[in-house]
Structure 1
Amino acid sequence: MKIKSILTSLFLLFGFFLFAEKITPAKWSWTLKPVNPKVGEVAELIFKVKIDKGWYLYSSDFDPNLGPVVTTVSFDKNSSYSLVGNLKAINPHSKLDQEIWGGTYTYFTGVGEFRQKVKILQEKVKISGAYDSQSCSNESGLCVPIKGVFSIVFSSQSVGGSEPVSKVSEQSEPVSKVSEQSEQVGKVSEQSEPVSKVGEPVSEIKSDERRQTSEESLFSFFFIALGAGFLALLTPCVYPLIPMTVSFFTKQSGGKGLAFLYGAFIVLIYVFFGTILAFFAGASFANFLSTHWIPNLLFFVIFMLFGISFLGAFEIVLPSNFVNQVDAKSDKGGLIGVFFMAFTLVLVSFSCTGPLAGSILIAASQGVFLKPIVGMLGFSLAFAIPFTLFAIFPGVLNKMPKSGGWMNEVKVVLGFLEVALAFKFLSVADQVYHWHLLDREVFLAIWIAVFTAITLYLFGIITMPHDSGNKKLSVTRSLLATSSLAFVLYMMPGMWGAPLKGLSGWLPPMNTQDFKMSAGSGNAEAAKINSKYSDFLKLPLGLQGYFDYKEAKEAAIKAGKPLFIDFTGHGCVNCRKMEEYVWSDPKVLKTLQEDYVVVALYCDDKTELPSTEWYTSKVDGQVKKTLGDQNLDFQITRFDSNAQPHYVLLDPRKEEGPMLKPVAFDPDVNHFVKFLNEGIRIYRSSK
């Protein structure tokens, strides 16, 4: 216990020093290609973002209404150039997040790159503007707005003159004024990374972190696909192929050589289709597959058809003429015969392996170029290895269990699972396009019904059309049935709003649930406060509070309560996690509602305020026009921090600093309760 306490204290101490100062985990630089383009020529402005290890930067090419802050680059208009097309993100990663955002977003790790084409219209050119992005960390749980300005000034006709230099300016650094008469840009900010001059070759930087992450991802995905391949071996369509394989190779004289070729051909045929997908897949295509309603509805229909087929309603088979022609080729023997034998195996087994192989390809399409190939390699290896062994040792057939009722039971259970998985694809389309067909409780009701059916089937209470007459309940069936029943019981509380953290990422987000039981004593449902910005901003969990610091401070003084400041953001993942996992605790929720006045200051909100409320920041010299920019500037100037989440406890009666050291992301509920209670004690003991 002492060791645990020491480690916890060290973590909190480190966290305080980390969170108490401004951090810049992503640094922007830019260059123009080619050097000094001629009038009428189209050049490319290339933005590079160096991202610290353990952090990621949201990209620019996903739905801005999803939640995370989409990277934007705004350009100052002038007559020396014009934009050609839109800002383009170069090969970002893609991730489907149902738990927090309910959709797919794109992001960069290590190094990010954005490109914008511009057409040169005059000899003397000035290209300037500002960038706005957000970087988050899964390790520290912080999110940091990354903002700055850029400027490139050059003469397209100059020869041997000074090359224009790009200037880095982060949110935390003062912005130097750029002289309108100067053809060069001021010095680079000292805390920023060195920046290439315009026209220098843009080196392709690939960080060790990105490479390691990609390798680990591919390595893990290979074994997932390998497991799917072994699962495919249990399907009933595969079993009849075993005697066919043995029969074929008992007539061959090639021995083990042909048997190994047989396995190799199986792998090559599967990988071939994975390669085709990899050729056509890209970041945009992956995003299309994972979020667009057309492919998701198509996958939903396919999985439903396969699931209903597995349950015994009908059989899905390839055209018999086509299969027979391929099978006839395999009778020729030799190398050609072995190839067509492998091809026959893939085709005949398609009705059972298709959904599993398809799942691998669908998952792989959301990754890098090699992922579909690696996925199909793992799947086909698991599929090919045993058939290669059957080809080498035909006598093994005599020791195999006879095909019968157990094979149909496997098929039926897989059918139910296919139906359950089908609704996952429908849920993706539903969340992205806000159809509200599969809200959280509807999705849960379907899964509870499906797994209840699996439980009843395995216990022998219900039967399917092709079941055998054997009603004996084996140990294996009993264990599987009990596991399915336990899963049903686990999901049941979710119908009343339980978080079900074990299913995070599978269920629709909590905000789609219509009915929720109160997480606390009911005090969270206090009288609604008609506060500033409450028409478009809301606090979580039914909490009532404010979204403007001055208004909240006045309310806290009037109520005689301390002030709880929540520096947050719409795109802050760990802000949502703190709300769902920590704030939802009854003790935390009750304390926030009864003992504090809560104010949420969104640091990434893009709402533009009236011009009368604009001001120029003393920190960076920029005009703060939006609600988010002003909240972030307040966080930086008052508390010397620019990361979210950031929780501050203030005594509104005094113009002093926080009553306690501010707290950032910490999923330990007890730590947060102690933090809140200590703030109450200090406030009440103060005069």
Structure 2
Amino acid sequence: MKKFITLFIFLFTLFLNAQTEDEPIKLETSVTKISETEYDIIFSATLYKGWYLYSQYNPENASLPLEITILENESGYKLVGKADEKDTFKKYSDIWELEEIVFKDKAIITQRIQLTNKKITQIKLNFFGQVCETACINIDENFTLSLAGNLIEETVSIDEKSKKLTQQLQLDLKNTALLKNGSDSNSESSDGLFSIFILGFVGGFLALLTPCVFPMIPLTVSFFTKQSKNKKKGIFNAILYGFFIVIIYILLSLPFHFLDNLDPEILNTISTNVWLNIFFFVVLVVFAFSFFGFFEITLPSSWGNKMDDASSVGGIIGIFFMALTLAIVSFSCTGPILGSLLAGSLTSDGGATQLTAGMTGFGLALALPFALFALFPNWLNSLPKSGGWLNTTKVVLGFLELALAFKFLSNADLVAHWDLLKREVFIGIWIVIFSGLALYLFAKIKFPHDSPIKKLSFSRISFGILVVSFVIYMAPGVLKNPTWNLGLLSGFPPPQFYSIYEQESECPLGLDCYKDFEEGLAKAKEVNKPILLDFTGWACVNCRKMEENVWSELDIYQTLKNDYILISLYVDDNEKELPEAQQFDFLKANGKIKKIKTYGNKWATFQYVNFNNTSQPYYVLLSPDLEILNKAQQYTDRDTYYAWLKEGLQNFEEKN
């Protein structure tokens, strides 16, 4: 588990370092003359509350230590030993299981330098360090300092080529008031959050039916109702216990909102990165085999012991730590489900907000039984007894984890264009997985912790038949011309044009589309048709749902084919580099430079610069002279989308 946490922090650090617009540390410098040949360079750092900067003396096999170095190709001076540090603290790390040396709130770091060439008038140093809260960010800054005591500001600039290509990226849009009014997606966004809440609730309910949680319900409820002579107080404590469970799971999601605020594109970058998707794939496979019973994943036992000791304090604080103890000791069963929820939320458009909604649903499902059974203690008698069925639930969840894992491998394959997990191959793997689940339910295969089965229960047979039906439903998906459209799976398998069979085009549903804005715009001007600008992504689930369930409707399909010029821009196409002549530096509003090297870089920046939006799918209707025809649209239902397309056509005809 420690190795997985280490790998996750490492990968997360890479992306935060590359993508953040702002950093939780502010550095200032000053120079003090000591002698004719020696100077002190003083770095004064101010840290956001809750963030830590790690000392240059931080132990090995822990967070990255601070390092001050001279820039390459610089000469005429040298560092005199390591920098002097003030106001460091020792902080125990549960992850690394050792004490780390950190700065918090502020840091004063003094590096002495010695001149070997007295004619030197300025020096150039690199300041490298790691700051962490829940996630970690690398600080890697170069400083040019005058020995007279001034920081020499090096003007950030871009060359003429970059200026020209930046100007081309910024459209001269007309009728932009429609964009300021926003899209009609607010209700759909709320519906999406509610759906994630329900999925989280279902996940929490499934976690209840596992060996780590289910036996705790009667024990905990009995404890609260019998420990107090006052029955009302016992009920109140049980309800408070449930409330704290919900709060704990909500708190777990809050750090991800900070990442969302650092950079509007960061969660999209995380969700579409090849190596993070592979990491999620490996983690979910490990979780699946843990549910199968081959090994158990647990948090350090010391965490549970500490929380258990704290729960003996009594009162409200004690109840809170009892709830926290439950969250920790049940991790071997709840962790894989929470891991799926985390991975699924980070790889969706809602990001941190969806994660909070899912965590709230998960916590509520776990908490409800404790409150309800405290209010109605007689219901405890109706609970089924613990037994082999709890392990069966875990194994079934293991098969579901395994199926979900291949979704993340598919994301990596799509973004990297490896052509390994084509649509039919993906569906074939799911057929094998769910066939395995059916064999397990019919007791044809067993796992380590399964109890002997003398007779199959009605519920097990029924669920087995349901799984077999699902396998039969998927079977046509491996054929060139499926008997039916796998609408229930929209968004999970790769798009229909990503196939082992030859397709009419590499566009959704065989439509004609352009994957370059300038080419599509030129065509729209030539034929005088409006543009449907489609910001999409290879790993975008809702994009696939829209294409396969909404665009496939005959009237919408005909409208897209006959009345619009479709321009599909893939914002996550970050493995495919632009031709060298089209690569450039984009100067952000905050003075930092973003390298535009891939098609994904270009179209993600294009979307944010022109439409102030980073989610997908995101649809804009434009005339050939770049006039916005109506409000932008996002993930929605068939009738709303069709009416939106028709409104755009009507507005275009009126303007003509």
Give the TM-score taking structure 2 as reference length: 0.50
For residue 307 of structure 1, report the CA deviation from its aligned partner: 0.7
1:417 matched residue in structure 2: 400
Aligned to 1:111: none
Which of the residues 420, 435, 444 maps onto 2:418?
A: 435
1:30-87 per-position Cα deviation (integer Å, ceiling 9, x unaligned): xxxxxxxxxxxxxxxxxxxxxxxxxxxxxxxxxxxxxxxxxxxxxxxxxxxxxxxxxx
* Post-superposition offset of 1:578: 11
Q: What is the correspondence of 1:575-590 to structure 2 with a 5 Å cutoff?
A: 581=552
Alpha-carbon contact 2:292-2:394 (below 8 Å) kept: yes
Counterpart-to-counterpart distance in 1, 2:328 and 2:474: 38
Query: 1:157 maps to what in 2?
Result: none
CA distance in 2 between counterparts of 1:601 and 1:209 reads 20
The answer on whether the counterparts of 2:509 and 2:552 sit within 8 Å (CA) in structure 1 is no
Matched residue, 1:505: 491
1:161 alignment counterpart: none
CA shift digits 1:348-389 (9 cap, x unpaired):
121212222233333444416543333322221111111223
Provide the identity percentage.
43
Would the alpha carbon gap of residues 220 and 322 (structure 1) be closer, same or farther in structure 2, given more than 3 Å must change?
closer
Q: Check the 8 A contact 1:390/1:396 in 2, yes or no.
A: yes
| Partner of residue 385 from structure 2, selected from 381, 384, 402 | 402
Letter in 2 for 1:251: Q
Distance 1:343 1:119, change over 3 A: same
Are 1:388 and 2:371 an aligned pair?
Answer: yes
* 1:341 Cα deviation after fit: 1.1
- Give, as a single letter, the amino acid of the residue that structure 2 aligns with 1:448: I
CA distances 1:418-458 after superposition (whole Å, capped 9, x unpaired): 11111111111111111223222221121111100111111
Higher deviation after alignment, 255-264 or 422-431: 255-264
Query: In the alignment, what sits opposite 1:63?
Result: none
Q: Which residue of 2 aligns with 1:301?
A: 282
Contact preservation (8 Å) 2:292, 2:398: yes
Match of 2:227 among 228, 244, 251: 251
1:426 partnered with 2:409? yes
List alignment gaps of at least 5 residues for structure 1.
1-116, 121-125, 134-147, 150-167, 171-191, 196-203, 519-523, 525-536, 545-563, 589-597, 609-634, 644-664, 668-687
Alpha carbons 2:205, 2:366 under 8 Å: kept: yes
2:477 is aligned with 1:494 = yes
Query: Do the aligned partners of 2:497 and 2:508 also contact (CA within 8 Å) in 1?
Result: no
TM-superposed CA distance for 1:506, in Å, is 0.7
Counterpart-to-counterpart distance in 2, 1:358 and 1:474: 31
- C-alpha separation in 2, matches of 1:511 and 1:211: 31
Is the contact made by 1:225 and 1:378 (CA closer than 8 Å) also made in structure 2? yes
Contact persistence 1:565–1:601 (CA under 8 A): no
Q: Quick one: which of 445, 456, 477 aligns to 2:428?
A: 445
Q: Which of 350, 358, 362 matches 1:367?
A: 350
Matches within 5 A, 1:323-334: 323-334=304-315
Given that residues 529 and 564 in structure 2 are in contact (C-alpha distance below 8 angstroms), is that contact kept between their aligned partners in structure 1? yes
State the 1:324 CA deviation: 2.4
Superposed CA RMSD in Å reads 4.8
Taking the aligned partners of 2:462 and 2:395, their CA distance within structure 1 comes to: 17
TM-score (norm 1): 0.48
The offset of 1:228, in angstroms, is 2.3
Which of 248, 251, 274 is matched with 1:269 structurally? 248
Aligned partners of 2:281 and 2:405 also within 8 Å: yes
Contact 1:246 1:397 in 2 (8 A): no
Match of 1:472 in 2: 455
The aligned counterpart of 1:350 is 331
Larger Cα-atom Rg: 1
The DSSP-based 3-state class of the residue aligned with 2:190 is: helix
Matched, 1:514 2:500: yes
Deviation at residue 480 of structure 1 after TM alignment:
0.9
Q: What is the SS of the residue equivalent to 1:424? A: helix
User: Which amino acid in structure 1 is aligned with residue 392 of structure 2?
Assistant: E
Q: Supply the AA of the counterpart residue of 1:230.
A: F
Query: Match for residue 336 of structure 1?
Result: 317
Counterpart for residue 215 of structure 1: 190
In structure 2, C-alpha distance between the alignment counterparts of 1:356 and 1:408, rounded to whole Å: 15
Task: Please tell me the residue identity of whatever aligns with 1:490.
Answer: Y
Farther-moved stretch of structure 1 (411-420 vs 364-373): 364-373
Query: Between Structure 1 and Structure 2, how many residues are aligned?
Result: 387
Within 2, Cα distance between the matches of 1:316 and 1:296? Answer: 21
> SS of the residue aligned with 2:500?
coil
Q: CA contact under 8 A between 2:260 and 2:352: conserved in structure 1? A: yes
Deviations 1:502-528 (A, max 9, x none): 322110122332147x9xxxxx9xxxx
Contact 1:452 1:485 in 2 (8 A): yes
**Distance across 1 between alignment mates of 2:276 and 2:388:** 35
